[in-house]
Amino acid sequence: YQQNPKTYAIVKQLLAEGNAGELQKYFGSRMEFGTAGLRAAMGAGISHMNDLTIIQTTQGFCKYLEKNFSDLKKRGVVIGFDARADLSSGGSSKRFARLAANTFISQGVPVYLFSDIIPTPFVPYTVTHLKLCAGIMVTASHNPKQDNGYKVYWENGAQIISPHDKGIAQAIEESQEPWPQAWDDKLIDSSLMLHDPYAMVNKEYFKDIQKQCFYRNINKETNLKFVHTSVHGVGHKFVQLAFKAFDLSPPFAVPEQKDPDPDFPTVKYPNPEEGKGVLTLSFALAEKDGARIILANDPDADRLAVAEKQESGEWKVFSGNELGALLGWWIFSCWKNNSRDTRAIKDIYMLSSTVSSKILRAIALKEGFHFEETLTGFKWMGNRAKQLMDQGKAVLFAFEEAIGYMCCPAVLDKDGVSAAVITAEMASFLATRNLSLSQQLKAVYDEYGFHITKASYFICHDPKVIQQLFDNLRNFDGKNMYPKSCGRFKVSGIRDLTTGYDSSQPDQKAILPTSKSSQMITFTFANGGVATMRTSGTEPKIKYYSELCAPPGNSDVEQLKKELDELVNALEKHFFQPEKNKLQRKTE
């Protein structure tokens, strides 16, 4: 079993020390394969991402695909990777991608393996574009540097949903023994079944996103300057190309962060969602070069954060909901004013997830298109978008508050590259009207009603405490009695997507799919507030999302903010009970 000398040495050392505790951690339980695929630290043992666990996972996935597609050996799969690597265990995204490719090729399945790092959205794009059976992206997105992941797309170009995760997990369990040449990834280099889609996708993707470019003349002329950071990830080259495709001058790239570096040396967490800490170098470069707008991708370039310098000289970092409001407004306006799409407005759709702002619902109601909400995560929005598109509908836009945006129907997943360049075109257009992004955001709220949101989380490493906290909410005012109020705020409705209960439905059954394995309860309040509490699928967190929606014409924003702050304080105090449950607050 000495296939990987580095992981072998780690385990041998632990055996020599007689370190049962660590060995238990490494070999006690296998990584779970869920709808998000795998995500774990790179290292030795079946609980980590390494050569062996990648081989086993891919063997299972290959078997599952063979069962589902009679033409798998004709159509094949696509595999992409980011720039992550771990010196101590010898694991890297590229190595894992090659081992996965080798597994498929050994079974006679054609593999489209990107020869270099790519943004995550290129994998779903390629699945759709080449009509492949499936896609794999080896990435841990914006997780800490020790992590890696294995993300899976189905033939419809969207991330997998249940029951595929269970089917694949079952097949992995049955495929533990590595096949004869599993470790010998050099075999693929001479195989006729190995294809490199890199050049083709770099041409076709940038052609396809140009369908969302409506103001080329303004783009050519604009003197607005942009700073872009790829936060030591893959985004730099591709955002430069996207700007070129839209005839925009290239953005200034943050030099310390533009090249891929698996150590992410300039940031504590490589996650632009964490706000200003990740953008420190971007602010400095923007000040130096006189740029007013910063575009920041996460390391696998499927998310986008945006910041804008205000009149006061302060920088405003837009929340995912605020940018969702702006992009929703912009993409609808572009459709209405410029699109050659002859479809009626009743065939136009926008989507967002249930924990995201309902601003799109307000715009849809006023403008006459359809809005739908889905469960949390782009796997749901991507699959729903595909269903609607197959019925001849146009899905213009989908977003979620975790800074994920789907602006272009060629990718049925979040895409930080197209979102960055579309935001740049929107900002350039607004500049010709002497409007900033912040001013336009206010105009959107003035027209469709203010939507103020606040979200945060508590860290809890004890699953028992989490279970107890949610059980307490379900038996708050006696057995099977949800809370009637939260402090001074009266509860007017409850939807529990763990149990499937919804007080607003005639039969009290929720419409959205329910999942016993994760916790999620949404409270509606008499004052128009909504708050959702849920557990995270990838981190030891209990998250909450709250929103206060006012009808158009209610312009007392400060009063609304104060009301929402008080609602959130009551939620923390009465529903989370952080002291009693020993929860750790999010630290800024």
Q: Give the residue numbers annotated as catalytic, written as ranges.
A: 141
Burial of 403 (0-12, 13-18, 19+ CB in 10 A): buried
| Placement of tokens 């419409």 in the chain | 511
| Residue 478, Ramachandran bin (φ over 0: left; ψ between -120 and 50: alpha; else beta) | left
Q: What's the CA gap between 432 and 537, in Å, rounded? A: 43
Dist. CA 375–CA 373, nearest whole Å: 7
Q: Which of 201, 138, 171 is nearest to 66 (CA)?
A: 171
Return d(Cα 132, Cα 99) in angstroms, integer: 19
**Spatial contact of 491 and 483, defined as CB atoms under 8 Å apart:** yes
d(CA 418, CA 239): 8
Sheet arrangement for strand 404-406? 370-374, 348-353, 394-400, 404-406
Tokens of 494: 């409850």
Of residues 515, 576, 571, the one with CA closest to residue 548: 571
Helix (H) or strand (E) holding 152: strand 147-153
Instruction: Please classify residue 441 by burial: count the beta carbons closer than 10 Å to its beta carbon, then call 0-12 exposed, 13-18 middle and 19+ buried.
Output: buried
Taking 3-state DSSP, the helix, strand and coil percentages for the chain, each rounded to the nearest 5, stand at 40, 20, 40
Q: Rounded CA gap, 362 and 350, in Å?
A: 11
* Nearest CA-CA partner of 241 in 232, 233, 224, 253: 253
Alpha helices in 131-231 (DSSP H): 164-173, 198-209, 216-221
Instruction: Give SS3 for 456.
Output: strand
Say if CB 289 and CB 227 are below 8 A apart.
yes
Determine the 3-state secondary structure of 180 from DSSP: coil
